[in-house]
Amino acid sequence: MTILGIDWGDAKVGLALALGIVAEPYSVVRYESVGILIEDLRKIIKKEEVGRIVLGISEGQSEKLAREFGDKASEHLGVDVVFWDETLTTLEAREKAIEAGISRKRRKELEDAFAATVMLQSYLDSNA
Provide the 3-class DSSP secondary structure of residue 62.
helix
In degrees and rounded to multiples of 5, residue 109 shows phi and psi of -65, -40
pLDDT in tens, the chain (128 residues): 999 999 998 888 999 999 999 999 999 999 999 999 999 999 999 999 999 999 999 887 888 999 999 999 999 999 999 999 887 566 666 676 667 666 666 656 667 888 899 899 999 999 86
Cα 8 from Cα 83, distance rounded (Å) = 11
CATH number of 2-126: 3.30.420.140
Locate the domains of the chain by residue range.
2-126
